[in-house]
């Protein structure tokens, strides 16, 4: 393993205690490094609802000895189903059991806070130093170490890793780009399955996505099938018009008027007091400056149409830890090992994540098309052989 030298506090300082930051911290700690996580909030936690963890991510969770916990807290769905949002008919599906046979790991859906808690406890068990109320505003970088500056606090490591999300303050050290608005907004909600007036109206063992003109609607079970997760996404006319107040509940109702009965019946169960505007960024190649690097959404924020945001963050973590281990094990010493590991990490991950970012945008266009394009799309999907994996092999087989 790479051995620290000089007056560093730890080997790696991770800025951000979300899923990407904790995943990176755990992977690096498992590789034998001393790791500290700096979280700006007063406590570690996650906001949101469901996450879909595809085989490319669950394979990594298994290697970290966490997959059994994730499955125990989540759901192994039977199928991934696409339906038309206007008439409700099934267009195509993927058999999840077949996904596990093909890719060697399961497809799991889990509450975001449950996955975060599992990673947090694993970090504690691995000896990661977890620090709250540390809002990092700047990084001081040289050829051998970097320092995260948060008020009077200074944390120095062989590497500072920015995992501070879509609106990363630290990404500006490498790029002056800004988040890109998709003009789409998401409403979420969960409710106990026991509270459903008619459970026969829901498919409670599938991940179902209704796709339609400028809108889509997602349903799947969480927490061992005890709650139903629902997400409504639509394009905001006010966003397109450049108005600051966009994505409001009245736009939600207008967007889904004319949708099938299953969607209209579910809309009242969504949270109406909060919504999530959807942004990504253009891919960049410059993730590393000497001993400072980006990871997760700070490096490659993406739209959610491939359900890969968290999955790609875990891939980043696994790759970085693997490259540090590889170069230390190859006998490369000190500074050269870190430099080589970071160079290879960026080279391996930037092309992969850029592809996911771009394809996610394309899938959004496919889901939301109208008119003749919708008819052609539906015909193509309806004719698809459910065992045809050409369009996901590149994503799930890593």
CA-CA-CA-CA torsion sign (82, 208, 281, 117): negative
Question: What string of DSSP letters covers 276-324?
Answer: EEEEE----S--EETTEEE-GGGT----GGGS-HHHHHHHHHHHHHHHH
| Half-sphere CA count of 366, side-chain side, radius 13 A | 17
Which residues face 228 on adjacent strands?
191, 221
> Which tokens sit at 372?
């003749």
Is 220 assigned a catalytic role? yes
* Residue of 103, 107, 220, 279 marked catalytic: 220
Strands 138-141 and 146-150: antiparallel
CA dihedral 280, 281, 282, 288 (to 10 degrees): -130
Q: How far apart are the first and last CA of the chain?
A: 25
99/106 Cα distance (integer angstroms): 7
The residues annotated with a catalytic role in the active site are: 220
């Amino acid at each position: 393993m790479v051995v620290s030298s000089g007056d560093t506090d730890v080997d790696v300082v991770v800025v951000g205690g979300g899923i990407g930051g904790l995943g990176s911290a755990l992977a690096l700690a498992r590789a034998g490094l001393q790791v500290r996580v700096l979280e700006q909030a007063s406590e570690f936690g996650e906001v949101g609802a469901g996450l879909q963890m595809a085989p490319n991510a669950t394979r990594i969770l298994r290697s970290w000895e966490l997959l059994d916990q994730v499955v125990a807290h989540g759901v192994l769905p039977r199928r991934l189903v696409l339906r038309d949002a206007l008439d409700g008919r099934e267009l195509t599906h993927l058999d999840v059991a077949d996904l596990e046979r093909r890719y060697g790991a399961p497809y799991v859906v889990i509450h975001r806070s449950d996955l975060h808690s599992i990673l947090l406890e694993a970090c504690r068990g691995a000896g990661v130093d977890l620090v709250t109320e540390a809002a990092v505003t700047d990084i001081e970088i040289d050829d051998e170490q970097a320092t995260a500056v948060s008020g009077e606090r200074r944390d120095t490591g062989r590497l500072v890793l920015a995992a501070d999300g879509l609106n990363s303050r630290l990404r500006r050290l490498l790029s002056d780009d800004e988040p890109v608005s998709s003009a789409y907004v998401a409403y979420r909600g969960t409710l106990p399955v026991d509270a459903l007036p008619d459970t026969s109206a829901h498919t409670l063992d599938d991940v179902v996505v209704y796709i339609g003109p400028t809108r889509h609607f997602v349903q799947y079970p969480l927490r061992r099938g005890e709650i139903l997760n629902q997400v409504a996404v639509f394009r905001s006319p006010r966003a397109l018009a450049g108005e600051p107040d966009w994505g409001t509940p009245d736009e939600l109702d207008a967007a889904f008027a004319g949708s099938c009965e299953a969607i209209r019946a579910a809309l009242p169960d969504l949270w109406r007091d909060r919504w999530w505007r959807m942004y990504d960024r253009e891919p960049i190649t410059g993730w590393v400056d000497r001993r400072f690097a980006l990871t997760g959404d700070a490096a490659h924020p993406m739209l959610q149409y491939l359900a890969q945001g968290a999955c790609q963050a875990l891939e980043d973590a696994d790759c970085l830890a693997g490259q540090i281990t590889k170069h230390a094990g190859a006998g490369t010493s000190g500074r050269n090992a870190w430099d080589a590991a970071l160079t290879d990490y960026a080279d391996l991950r930037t092309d992969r994540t850029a592809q996911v970012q771009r394809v996610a945008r394309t899938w959004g266009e496919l889901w939301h098309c109208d008119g003749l394009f919708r008819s052609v799309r539906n015909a193509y999907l309806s004719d698809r052989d459910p065992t045809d994996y050409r369009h996901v092999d590149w994503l799930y087989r890593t």
